A and B are shown apart, each in its own frame.
Chain A
C-alpha cells in the first residue's frame, strides 16, 4: 500500500486548479464576447430585440446555475444532442456570464449622461462612432471594477461543474485545501476590484 503524502495531495489539487482557471478563462472570454454583442442590442433601437435581451438576462439571473447545467448536461442528450461534461460546463458558464456581463455593462452605459450622446451627435458622429469614441471609453472605466467583481463570482461558479463529473478543483476532495486555493484565486481579484473602484471614485471627484 502506498500512502498519499501531503505533497501528492497538494500537487494534485494545484494541477486540478488549472482546470478551474481554464474554465473561468473560457467562460469569461466567451461571456465577454457574447455580452458585448448583447449589450449592443440592448442599448440599440429595436424595441423587441431589447426586450428579448432583457428576458435572456432575467432568465439566467433568476434561475440556479446548477439547473442550467443539468438542463444542458442531462436534458439535451434526451433531445438527441450529446454533450460532454467539459462542453456542458463551458457552454453554461459562457451563457451565464454573458447575461451578467451584459447587465453590468448596460448599467455603466446608462450611467453616461444623456448630454454625451447629444454632444457627440451634434459633432456629426454616427451611432457606432459615438459608441466607439465617446460612450464606451467612459463606460469602460466605470464598468471595470464590477466586471472584476463578477469574475470572482464566475471563478466560484466553476465549482458547480464538479457535480456533472468535470474534475476540477472541488472534485479532488481535501476540502480545506480546496477552499484555500479558491481563496488564493479570488481574494486578489476582489482586492483588485476594490482598488479600481477607489481609483475611480477619486478620479471622478
Chain B
C-alpha cells in the first residue's frame, strides 16, 4: 500500500511552469539591474563628505539587512495601502526585491570602493580628470571587479528569496508549484521538481554571471 510516485502527473503543466520561471527570472533581472545601479549610487553616497548623507545610507542599509524580506514585502503590500499607496502584487514584489537587494549591494560595493588604493584616485586626478570621470572610469571599475563574486552571490540569493513573493499571489515559480499541487494532489513530486528547478536556475545563473564577469573585468579581476 505504499505511495506511488508519479511524475507524469506534472507534464501537462509545462506551460504554467515556464510562465512561473519567466516571472521569477524577470523579477530577478529587474531587481539586479536597478539594484546594482542604485547600489553604486548608494555606495558612492555612503562615502560622501556630508555626515547626514552617510548616516542616512547607513540607516537604510542596517534597517533592510536586519529585517526579514517577507516582512518588508508584507509592509509594502499590506501596510502601504493604509497610507494611500496601493500597489499591485507584482509591483509590490518588484519594489520589495529592489529595496532589499539595493541595501546589500550598497554594502558590498562600498567595501569594493574602500579596497581600491587611494593612489588610483590621486593619480587619475593628477592626469586632470574630472572627479566624476575619476569615479566612473578609474575607481568604480576596479571596485566592481574586486567584489564581483559577492555581487553574483547576492543576486543568486535574491533569486532564491524571491520564492516568498508567491505569498502575495505573484505567479512565480513557487506559486506555480502551489497551483499544480492543488490540482493534482501530488505535492511531494511537485515541490521536489520545482525545488530542483530552482537548483538548476541558481547554478545556471551563477555560471552565466561568472562568464559575464570574465568578459566585463578581463585582466582586471584580482
Contact indicator per residue, chain B 174-189, by CB within 8 Å of chain A (1) or not (0): 1001000100011110
Question: Chain A interface: which of B29-37, B135-143, B144-152, B161-169?
Answer: B161-169
Cβ contact within 8 Å between A79 and B163:
no
Does B70 have its Cβ within 8 Å of any Cβ on chain A?
A: yes
Cβ contact within 8 Å between B191 and A62:
no
Q: Which residue of B lies closest to A186 (CB)?
A: B66
Question: Chain B interface: which of A2-10, A83-91, A174-182?
Answer: A174-182
Q: Which residue of B lies closest to A174 (CB)?
A: B79
Does B71 have its Cβ within 8 Å of any Cβ on chain A?
A: yes
Interface size on A, residues (CB 8 A): 34
The answer, among B75, B161, B195, for a CB contact under 8 Å with A68, is: B195
Does A102 have its Cβ within 8 Å of any Cβ on chain B?
A: no
Known contacts: A63-B198, A64-B174, A183-B63. The answer to whether A159 contacts B163 by CB under 8 A is no
Q: Which residue of B lies closest to A169 (CB)?
A: B71
Interface size class of B (residues with CB under 8 A): 35 or more
Contact indicator per residue, chain A 130-150, by CB within 8 Å of chain B (1) or not (0): 000000000000000000000
CB distance from B81 to the nearest CB of A (A): 12
Complex: A41 Cα to B68 Cα, angstroms = 32
Cβ contact within 8 Å between B174 and A66:
yes
Q: Which residue of A lies closest to B72 (CB)?
A: A179
Cβ contact within 8 Å between A64 and B3:
no
CB distance from B24 to the nearest CB of A (A): 10
Does A80 have its Cβ within 8 Å of any Cβ on chain B?
A: yes
Q: Which residue of B lies closest to A75 (CB)?
A: B188
The CB with the most chain A CB atoms within 10 A, among B65, B160, B186, B191, is that of B191
Q: Which residue of A lies closest to B166 (CB)?
A: A66
Q: Which residue of B lies closest to A152 (CB)?
A: B66
Cβ contact within 8 Å between A159 and B187:
no
CB distance from B54 to the nearest CB of A (A): 16
Known contacts: A59-B199, A63-B199, A64-B161. The answer to whether A182 contacts B68 by CB under 8 A is yes
Does A19 have its Cβ within 8 Å of any Cβ on chain B?
A: no
Q: Which residue of A lies closest to B164 (CB)?
A: A66
Contacts of A74 in B (CB 8 A): 181, 187-188, 191
- Given contacts A62-B203, A175-B78, could you give 7 more A-B pairs where the C-beta distance is less than 8 Å? A62-B160, A62-B202, A63-B196, A67-B198, A71-B188, A170-B71, A179-B67
Could you tell me which B residues sit within 8 Å of A by CB distance? Answer: 2-3, 62-63, 65-72, 74-75, 78-79, 156, 160-164, 166-167, 174, 177, 181, 185-188, 191-192, 194-196, 198-199, 202-203
